[in-house]
Amino acid sequence: MDVVIHHGGNNSFTESLYFGKPMVIMPFSSDQFDIASDAEELRIAGVLNPNSFGIGSIKKALRHTLSRESEKALLYWKQKLATRGPRYAVRRLLSTLSK
C-alpha cells in the first residue's frame, strides 16, 4: 500500500503513522477535523473535503503527501511514535505526580 486514504479517526491515523504510510485524510465528523489539521500542519498528510473533492484536488493531495518534505516529516514522527507507548506514558505520569 502506497497511501492510506482515511477519515482521520484516531485509530486510522495512529496505525498509518506507526507503519509510516503517507496519508490523505478526508474528515467528516468530530475530532477528525483536529487530527486532519494537525497532520496537515506537521506536513504528514494531505487533507481533502469529502463533500467537494475532485480529481485535481486528489492529485494535489497525493503530490503533497508523496513529496520528499512529507516523507521526511513522516519518518520523523514514525520514529518518535516508536519511542512512545504505555511505558513512556506511565513514566511521564509518575514523574509528574511525584513533583
In CATH terms, the superfamily for domain 4-97 is Glycogen Phosphorylase B; (3.40.50.2000)
Closest among 87, 81, 76, 16 to 45, alpha carbons compared? 16
Distance set, CA 44 to CA 10, 59, 65, 90 (Å): 15, 16, 6, 27
Q: What is the pLDDT of residue 99?
A: 75
Query: What is the tens place of the pLDDT at every residue in 45-64?
Result: 999 999 999 999 999 999 99
- For 8, the 3-state DSSP assignment is coil
Ramachandran region, residue 20 (left: φ > 0; alpha: ψ -120 to 50; beta: rest) = left
Neighbour count for residue 87 (Cβ, 10 Å): 8
Q: pLDDT category, 37, cuts 50, 70, 90?
A: very high
**Residue bearing cell 495512529:** 14
For the chain, which residues make up each domain, given as ranges? 4-97
Q: How far apart are the C-alpha atoms of 3 and 6, rounded to whole Å?
A: 10
Q: What is the pTM of this model?
A: 0.83
